[in-house]
Amino acid sequence: MEADIVMIKSSVHNLPEKLSADILKLIIDADLRPGDKLPNEMVFSKKFNAGRSSVREAMKLLMSKNIINIRQGSGTYVAEHPGISEDPLGLVFLENNPRMLYDLLEIRILVEPTIAAMAAKNASAYDIKRIADVCSKTESLIMLGQNFVEADTDFHKAVAAASKNLIAPRLVPMVGRTIRAVEPLMDQRCSQDAVRCHRAVADAIASHDMAKAKDYMYLHIACNRRLLSEKQEGQIKA
């Protein structure tokens, strides 16, 4: 009898998890894209023969995993980057460690040049235009003395997407974290050097030159790593 009660409690406790898995399967099977709207709670309640409170808990689980967004008064939508956490590596717990950013750049220097080479091999005409447009936007922001972190991150997103590798775009949150940290350290010359590297990578991708795309991306990240190292050494000496 006690075992039966435990099983019942366990099944009740796991119902939102099962529902969240069922809703996720529905999203995948229906090929819903980022920004697509999902049916409301009542529809899911009837479809899965579950109470609305259980459906609500399932939705909260999916939201915690960045699979959906719930917009008050509007409805529930597939997240912009479903399933991709802003901090997939748990870097928030390493932020006070002075080595974190440098080590992160070392990982980027191992990975991103190869992604750039794949982009040079696989980029479509749309990808090439998108990368060039982001370069132009970044150049304009720097000339105006405005913050260019978002545009810089968009450049790396565009290169990752052009690689046609399914995993590469999911590494972008890691890239964005180092860009946000390094950008305040840059003076005008460093910013312009970064854009020149971007443009060189973009031109190599447009020419489908894998070797040059790889080399220029390596140079770009190596420059950031050197800048960070110099600034950190200066702070220590000061």
Instruction: Quote the CA–CA distance of 60 and 181 in Å, as a whole number.
Output: 31
Identify whether residues 64 and 98 lie together within a single domain. Answer: no
Residue 156 structural domain: 91-237
Strands 68-71 and 75-78: antiparallel
For residue 122, the domain's CATH number is 1.20.120.530
Over its length of 238 residues, how does the chain's per-residue pLDDT go in tens digits?
Answer: 444 433 333 344 588 888 989 999 888 888 888 889 988 888 898 888 888 888 989 998 898 888 888 888 888 898 877 776 666 666 665 666 667 778 888 888 999 999 999 999 999 999 999 999 999 998 888 888 788 888 888 999 999 999 999 889 888 777 776 776 666 666 666 777 788 899 999 999 999 999 999 999 999 988 888 877 776 665 434 3
Q: What's the domain count of the chain?
A: 2
Identify whether residues 26 and 113 lie together within a single domain. Answer: no
Identify whether residues 12 and 39 lie together within a single domain. Answer: yes
The answer to whether the CB of 175 falls within 8 A of the CB of 101 is no
Identify whether residues 38 and 102 lie together within a single domain. Answer: no
Identify whether residues 66 and 107 lie together within a single domain. Answer: no
Residue showing tokens 């854009």: 195
Identify whether residues 165 and 101 lie together within a single domain. Answer: yes
Instruction: Quote the CA–CA distance of 138 and 216 in Å, as a whole number.
Output: 17
Q: Is the pTM of this model over 0.75?
A: no
Identify whether residues 96 and 144 lie together within a single domain. Answer: yes
Measured distance between the N- and C-terminal CA atoms of the chain, rounded to whole angstroms: 71
For residue 20, the domain's CATH number is 1.10.10.10
What is the per-residue DSSP string for 18-57? Answer: HHHHHHHHHHHHTT--TTPBPP-HHHHHHHTT--HHHHHH
The enclosing H or E element of 76 equals strand 75-78
Identify whether residues 175 and 98 lie together within a single domain. Answer: yes
85 in any annotated domain: no
Q: Which amino acid is at 232?
A: Q
